[in-house]
A = this chain, B = another copy of it.
Amino acid sequence: MNVGFIGLGNMGGAMARNLIQAGHAVIVWNRTPSRVEALKSIGAKVAASPGEAAKAGTVITMLADDRAVESVVYGEEGILESLPDGGVHVSMSTISVALSAQLAKAHQNAGQHYVAAPVFGRPEAAAAAKLFVIAAGSPEAVKLIQPLFEAVGQRTFNAGEDPTRANVVKVAGNFLIASAIEGFGEAFALARKSGVEPEKFLEILTGTLFVAPFQKVYGQIIAGEAYEPAGFAAALGLKDMRLVLAAADASGVPMPMASLVHDRFQAALGRGHREKDWSVIARLAAEDSGL
């Protein structure tokens, strides 16, 4: 199908490539034009503006944060102005629940569809078309774009008709990963100070109960203190914790563990770890133990 794709970063670039390779006609736009070349070489058209990409009738946004999404949706040559009647904006970025609610309303008022479809998976999973897609929006729109999800992911979950629910699930999921990392960080610090080799500790943890792939990935990083290069930077982790806390505040939910993890990211940045992998929060417990 015809689809516009906006945002060609580590995640978006890989997703757009997979869409093309699955046979879709993709027209891309990126703020930094240099990123479009690789896609162009495999058959992507290049749009001169977000609005031009939106004219494809279906447009995916995969951008860094709320501000970036707002900048391509609103204003002249923006998505809202150019998306055809009945067209679909598929918002796959990790954005705030509040912005998602606002976009849902704006598109509805404009006679357009809005589907929130954030994903779980690091860049490697995006490259391998192994993302998990959490979609929410009107059933007809979600059904229409299902082929796109199949081209980028291994499985799609439907979180209901209210698009914001997909965003809630996404920010809650990222909180759960981050809090597991913090837990590992504290546990590894205890193990090391108690004379247990990190590799031995990792082997036991991941050989017994903590067998989810993400636990193995982060356990290895932490045991080896291999926080660079970053797969997902600490500064983005902080952003994600702000998103979950904003959602919690709006819903009246106290989340003390999320608060703790948020403060850890803030401290990681303050202690010079901004550009390292977000799992570097595990380093803080070690530092605080004199390791």
Does A204 count as interface, using CB distance less than 8 angstroms? Answer: yes
Known contacts A249-B242, A251-B194: does B209 contact A173 (CB below 8 Å)? yes
| Residue among A182, A244, A254, A260 having the largest count of chain B Cβ atoms under 10 Å | A254
Within 8 Å CB of A215, what residues of B? Answer: 212
The contact of A155 among B162, B207, B242, by CB within 8 Å, is B207
Could you tell me if A289 and B252 are in contact, using CB atoms closer than 8 angstroms? yes
| Residue among A209, A260, A272 having the largest count of chain B Cβ atoms under 10 Å | A209
Convert A139-183 into 0s and 1s, putting 1 for each residue whose CB lies closer than 8 angstroms to a CB of B: 000000000000000010101101011001100110111011011
Could you tell me if A165 and B195 are in contact, using CB atoms closer than 8 angstroms? yes
The contact of A257 among B182, B193, B252, by CB within 8 Å, is B182
Separation of A212 and B209 alpha carbons in the complex (Å): 7
- Copy number of this protein in the oligomer? 4
Separation of A116 and B203 alpha carbons in the complex (Å): 18
Chain A's interface: helix, strand, loop or mixed, by majority?
helix
Could you tell me if A183 and B190 are in contact, using CB atoms closer than 8 angstroms? no
Give the A interface residue count (CB, 8 A). Answer: 77
Separation of A177 and B255 alpha carbons in the complex (Å): 18
The contact of A169 among B179, B204, B263, by CB within 8 Å, is B204
Separation of A233 and B258 alpha carbons in the complex (Å): 25
11 pairs of residues in contact across A and B, judged by CB atoms under 8 Å: A132-B208, A159-B196, A159-B204, A173-B205, A182-B257, A252-B266, A253-B289, A257-B260, A270-B289, A271-B288, A272-B290
